Amino acid sequence: MIDGLDLRHHTAHQATDLVDQFVALYLHVYADDDGFHTEDRYRRQLAGHMQRDGWDLVTATVDGESVGYIYGFPLPAGTGWWTGIHEPVPVGFTDEDGKRTFAISELMVAPAWRRRGIARTLHDELLRGRHEERATLLADPENAPAQAAYRSWGWSRVTSLRPGWDHAPTFDVLILRASAE
């Protein structure tokens, strides 16, 4: 563990004043933008996600400096999360009821703070005590360090998904069963 690392959970209301900070880190992480990782798109995504029931955020700071964050929310019935999923998938895989699947939307660590266990610490803190039977996230199939980390944390690839957003890449759909946490 890093000396001075402070983790904090935030509700959407509590996180409102931190949005510019999240956007700044997002833009720093995706500085080599391919047209998808834009400020406008991310602000809209974040604003929409923060309205979700059960939205939870964990921030990481070291001596007051923001070094990373992770957020997610339970997938409700009728969610659009699975739109663009590549078939075939197991029967019922995309059926949601607000209690089955917790979706991790973003996990970011500032480049200068990577490879120190912060991502894993944020991940574990966000998922600690969750009651859903599984968690999901979308991962860049070409991000080898992230893919290796997720595998080592117990995540499994199920299929691919290309969201319907402008310039959206195709992501790997990863699942973590509650028993694997």
Q: 150 exposed, middle or buried (CB, 10 Å; 0-12, 13-18, 19+)? A: buried
- For every one of its 181 residues, what pLDDT tens digit does the chain have, with 9 covering 90 and above? 688 899 999 999 999 999 999 998 888 887 776 667 788 888 988 888 899 999 999 999 999 889 999 999 999 999 999 999 998 999 999 999 999 999 999 999 999 999 999 999 999 999 998 999 999 999 999 999 999 999 999 999 999 999 887 778 899 999 999 854 4
Nearest to 123 by CA among 169, 101, 156, 154: 154
Reported pTM: 0.90
Side-by-side strand order, sheet with 134-139: 5-10, 56-62, 65-74, 101-109, 134-139, 171-177, 156-161
What structural domains does the chain harbor?
5-180 (3.40.630.30)
